[in-house]
Each structure stands twice: as structure tokens, then as C-alpha cells.
Structure 1
């Protein structure tokens, strides 16, 4: 019975994707204008025609920006989350600033990054960091705070120091939150990188999509977007596999 449920749950995403593609196909055929909304088949054809520049030039450029922005966000997000967990005063002081950073529209401030750093990689990396830093920090911070107070008090009565409680209790407890933060940050980091490329770049999928828009090539606009979505889903899938490998104590649904 459980196996049947697992099989049906695994097939459900395929049915949802198929349904989405059919709706997309129907709407595109109803509009009848490729430069506005191409059909999925037209996008696949464009992906095949442009496979070499997309796969070997623009995809590596965008994923490089995404990876660097995600890495910096994770490092500083973890450090800040630990600092706030250790220091309640710092948490009260910094938490509003972290929330305020997320209210800044990326599209509004990204042109400033281009003005400051030009078309270098750092203008795009900063856009990716801006959009990912908040969810990474807050998710990991909530994971550190999710330990039960009774368990902390028990370790204290056993003579455990503050650092022992942190490493032996809070860190293992927060590992699932860390993987959740990574899974959540990957897609939005991709969005940040694409926004940065859209506003000012010489390579990347966001840049290529903008270039195709100036040529009124609808399939050319959608092709890099589809490729970027597929790359992000692949990375999220890999992160999920790593989580299952390292977080063995989590109950599988």
C-alpha cells in the first residue's frame, strides 16, 4: 500500500508538468503570435538551435555568478545567524536591518551595482547576494533556535558548556534548516543573477534573453529562461539527495 502511494506521488509531478505544458501550448496556439508567446515545441527547437552558445558560454556565466553569490550568502548568513543566536542583544539590533534589506527592490538597486562595479561579475554577484542573504540567515537562525529548552537545560545540568551545547545540540538540530535554506536560496539566487545580467552584462542567460527580446524572438527569450529553470531544479535535486544522505535521522514522508 505504501509502495503504491510512493509511486503515485512520484508520478504526480510529471502529470502536473504535462498539464502545464498542454495549457501553455493551448494558450500559445490561441494567441498565434510567436513573438508574444511561443509554443513549448518552438522553445525546444530554439534550445537545440542555440545549444552551443547557451550551454557552453551563457549557462556557465550565469551559474558561476549564482554559485559565487550563493556561497557568499551562505557563509555570511551562517556567521550572522550564529552571532544572533549567541547574542540576543545583537539579534534585537540586527533583525530589523535584515528584514529591511529584503524590502529593497532588486530591480531598483541593481543599476547602482552596475554603476559602481561596471559590467564585472561583482555587480551581478551583489544582486544575487541581496536577494538570497535574508532567507538564508533567517532560516538558519530559526533552526538554531528550534532546539527545545528542556534539552538545553538538561545539558546544562550535566555540566555542558555553552559551546558544547551549541556544537552537540544546536548544530545537529539546525542541519535540516541549513539544507532547507540552500534549497530555497538556489532558485532566488538564480533570479538575482539573471536580474543583474538583464540590467548590465556581456554574457549570461539573462543577457541573452534580453538580446533576443530586442529582436522580437519570443522562442529566443524563453529558451534561456527554460534552461535556467532546468539548471536550478537540477541543483535543488542534488541538494535534496545530499540532505537525505547526511540527515539520516529525519523521518521520510
Structure 2
């Protein structure tokens, strides 16, 4: 237990060292605050401006969670359909890969033209960045099912549906959660990008206003908030994985 706790604190020690070097370097070199503020100044601004920043934070969290739920649901459903229907998979899978080669920052203005400034284009942006990792991870998980178990169930007379729901889907859960963890971190950045489309609130709006007024300290406040939200979403998915996928945790502990 003590060793695991020590390993868990190593990243925090590295971050603390980074902030110390940052603080000393900025103070020593005399860098102007509008160019690169010191970490202490950024923390002070975050504390002093919390009342004005918190509504933007709440707005981004709600948007990211909604987009993540929609994107993950579509991604998992797409993976199931492509796995059960190989013919459709051969036709659709290359198009899924091509969809990820379109820069979101280029697609965003088109979504505004097509769907206006409402909630729909924002959700489309988050869905596009969330569904693909889950789809790919789930498809890989379905393929990793133990062949001997599949053979045993087929010999026992299991139907294709029973084979999927009772064996392939549970066996793919570790891979699915890997995709969920990636998509959870992407959802925050997708929400921030979508807020650039013309939202009234959100970290993206806060960052844009701060950048246009040369408030670099507030820009860094927004950046750190995005990082913390991504880590929080990642931790929630990891906790859910430990609760639901118990057999992999037991196997890893034995190893």
C-alpha cells in the first residue's frame, strides 16, 4: 500500500518541481505578466476571479458530459453493428477513419452555417471527437475474445446473439473502458472548441475574452481548468472500470 501511494505522488512531485522552476525562471528573467505570468499570479487570479469563472466552468462541464454520453452511446452502438454485420463493417469502417481526418476547427464554421448557433452544432463537435475511440476500442475488444470459449459456446448450441451478449460483450469491457477514458478526456476539449462557435458561457468563451484582452493569466486559468476537468473525467471512468470489470483487476493483482 505504501509503495502504491509513493508511486501515486510521483507525478505531483514532478508538477511541483515544474511550477517551482517556472516561478523562479519568470521572476529571474523579469518576464512581463502579460507575456508569461508566474504560477502564483495565475493561482491568485483563479482565486480572485472564481465568482466570474465558475458559471463558465459549470456550463462546460454540462456540455462535455452531455456530448460524452451521446458520443459514447453512438460509438458503442456503431461498434456493435459493425461487429455483428461484417459486410457493413467493410463498407463503413474506412469512412469512419476518414471522418477523423477532417480538422474540427475547420468543420466547426460549417456546422454553424448548417445548424445555427444553438446546442446542436456543439453536440455534433463533441460527438465527432468522442465516438471514434470507443468504436475502435470496442471492435478490438470483440476480436480479442478467447477462441476456445467461443468454440465451447458454439458446441453448446449458443446462438449468435447469445454468443455476443454473454461472451463477446463482457470480454470486451476492458477495451471499451479504454476507449471511454480516451473519449472522456477528448470531450472536455471538444466542448471548449464547440464553445468557440458562439456560446454565451463556457471555458471557451472565457478563454476567448481573456485572450482578446491580453489577460494571459486568465488564459492559463482556463488551460489549467481544462486539464483538471480532463483528469477528473478520466478518474471517474477509471473508478467505474474498477467497480464493473472485477475479473481484470483480480488478474492484474495476482500478476
TM-score by length of 1: 0.92
Contact 1:63–1:190 at 8 Å: present in 2 too? yes
1:149 Cα deviation after fit: 2.0
Task: Please give the per-residue CA displacement for 1:119-162, whole angstroms capped at 9, x wherever unaligned.
Answer: 22222221111112211111111111210222211110111111
Q: Name the structure 1 match of 2:94.
A: 96
Cα contact 1:194–1:206 (8 A) shared by 2:
yes
Distance 1:198 1:27, change over 3 A: farther
Check the 8 A contact 1:59/1:228 in 2, yes or no.
no
2:47 equivalent in structure 1: 48
In the alignment, does 2:172 pair up with 1:179?
A: no
Q: 1:228 Cα shift?
A: 2.3
Structure 1: distance between partners of 2:220 and 2:165: 46
Matched, 1:8 2:45: no
Distance 2:133 2:21 in 1: 32
Tell me, in whole angstroms, the C-alpha distance in 2 between the residues paired with 1:7 and 1:66. 30
Contact 2:133 2:180 in 1 (8 A): no
* SS of corresponding position for 1:147: coil
Distance 1:94 1:27, change over 3 A: farther
In structure 2, distance between residues paired with 1:249 and 1:130: 32
State the match for 1:83 in structure 2.
81
Q: CA deviation at 1:4?
A: 4.5
**How many residues matched?**
250
d(CA) in 2 for partners of 1:197, 1:156: 50
2:213 corresponding residue in structure 1:
215
Counterpart-to-counterpart distance in 2, 1:59 and 1:67: 12
Structure 2 residues not aligned, in runs of 5+:
none
Where does residue 33 of structure 2 map in the other structure?
A: 34
Maintained 8 Å contact 2:125/2:194? yes
Cα distance change, pair 209–163 in 1 and its aligned pair in 2 (3 A): same
Contact 1:31 1:37 in 2 (8 A): no
Residues 66 and 189, structure 1, Cα contact 8 Å, conserved in 2: yes
- Asked if 2 retains the 8 angstrom alpha-carbon contact of 1:208 and 1:224, the reply is yes
